[in-house]
Amino acid sequence: MSELINNSKEKKKLLKHMILQLHEGEAPDLVRNRLTDILREVPYDMVVEVEQELISEGLPVDEVLKLCDIHTDVLDGHIDQTGAKEIPAGHPIDIFKNENIELRKRIDELNQQYLMLISCNTSEAIKAYFLKLKVFFNDLYDVEKHYLRKENLLFPYLEKNGITGPPKVMWGKHDETRELLKAAAEALTAEGEITTEEAQTVVDLILIPASKAIDDMIMKEEEILFPMAMDLLTDSDWYEIQLQTLEIGYCLYDPEIEWKPEGIEEVEIEISADSIQLPSGSFMLRELIAVLNKLPVDMTFVDKNDKVKFFSQGDHRIFHRSRAILNRDVRMCHPPSSMHVVDQILNDFKSGKEDKASFWIQMGAKFILIEYYALKDDKDAYFGTLEVSQDLSYARSLEGEQRLLSYDK
């Protein structure tokens, strides 16, 4: 046993020495070779312990942040997850991992698309190419909810268990990724002509670093953060995290299974009161839910900050919605080709220039009416937009009168 302990201590000592060598400017390739030759595999919790100790010993968080990508890259494929706990379906970590699957699908598609720029020889072709890339980046922007849940739900529980350094480092990487995504959004919406050489520069210096930053974070989560968190947190901790998750929302994934650990008492989610009093009457909560879902229309509410906060869940929806869109910027829920229209509606509603916008389209045999309404308080201050969609095919087919009782089949 003492031999194993000593071996573990030596591995930890060597890992810390390796990171400090990187800090002092030693070549990453040389350090990688030393690591793989001497350590072979590093337990996932050892990486966390070493980062924590380095920060405690005075290495600034900013310096650990600079080294994070390098030493993680060196460790990629050499982190031992033997003994990591099994993750139940629907568990908060299971949700994180499924979100990562969806994010990686988009990143893999983007990596293929990056190679296609060479075939774009005209300004029109480049614009069409950037429009295609924008579709994938619109999905990647949804990683914000993934990061917010880590920062505001998971990290506080790690800190309660004495893990303070690594969350700071990871939060810093989140912020770096946010800046990269912001730059990507600006690059993909820039106006004017662009040459193939300029487009290649945008791809190489802005877009690839942005998508790679997300991919690198997935590796850090899957190989280090998630196994370590599963070891530290109790089922009660995880259940509390799950109950608060919907307040932030999901990233590109809507879990089908609601996880509830055995032996945990049901915790009521507070909704102020079961009876909801309105100016013209009142509802029990279950009654209000039933009424909203029975109305023959699709409704989506967007708040004053342009975040999707609610959608009805009727039996026959016209447009598919999942809980993954909650707290997402409404612009990201529309194709790039129509984002300028969404922007104009929101700007006109907020300025008071307009308070309603209507569209109607033919979807196969269905005639669909889509209407947007500006919502304002009693002082005429804007606080959101309501989108209402309905299938008017049946109504348009009615003729004459029906005065006798006849149930619809």
What's 92-248's CATH class? mainly alpha
Rounded Cα distance between 389 and 370, Å, is: 4
Q: With contact defined as beta carbons under 8 Å apart, do 307 and 328 qualify?
A: yes
Q: CATH for 275-397?
A: 3.30.450.20
pLDDT score, position 72 = 59
Q: For 406, how many CA atoms within 13 A lie in the half-sphere containing its CB?
A: 5
Predicted pLDDT of residue 63: 62
* Phi–psi pair at 156, nearest 5 degrees: -60, -35
pLDDT at 339: 77
- In the chain (409 residues long), the average pLDDT of successive 10-residue segments reads 50 70 65 58 65 70 58 56 79 97 97 93 90 94 94 90 81 92 93 90 96 92 87 92 88 92 66 72 88 91 94 84 84 76 94 95 91 94 95 90 82
Q: How far apart are the C-alpha atoms of 310 and 301, rounded to whole Å? A: 5
Q: Same CATH fold, 275-397 and 92-248? A: no
Pairing assessment for the beta strands 382-391 and 366-376 based on DSSP bridges: antiparallel
Q: How far apart are CA 34 and CA 25, in angstroms?
A: 15
CA angle 272, 248, 183 (to 5 degrees): 145
Q: For residue 196, give the 3-state DSSP assignment.
A: helix
Segments making up each domain of the chain, as ranges: 2-80, 92-248, 275-397
Per-residue confidence (pLDDT) for residue 77, from 0 to 100 = 58
Q: What's this model's pTM, rounded to 2 decimal places?
A: 0.72
Measured between alpha carbons, how far is 338 from 323 in angstroms, rounded to an integer?
22
Per-residue pLDDT at 358: 94
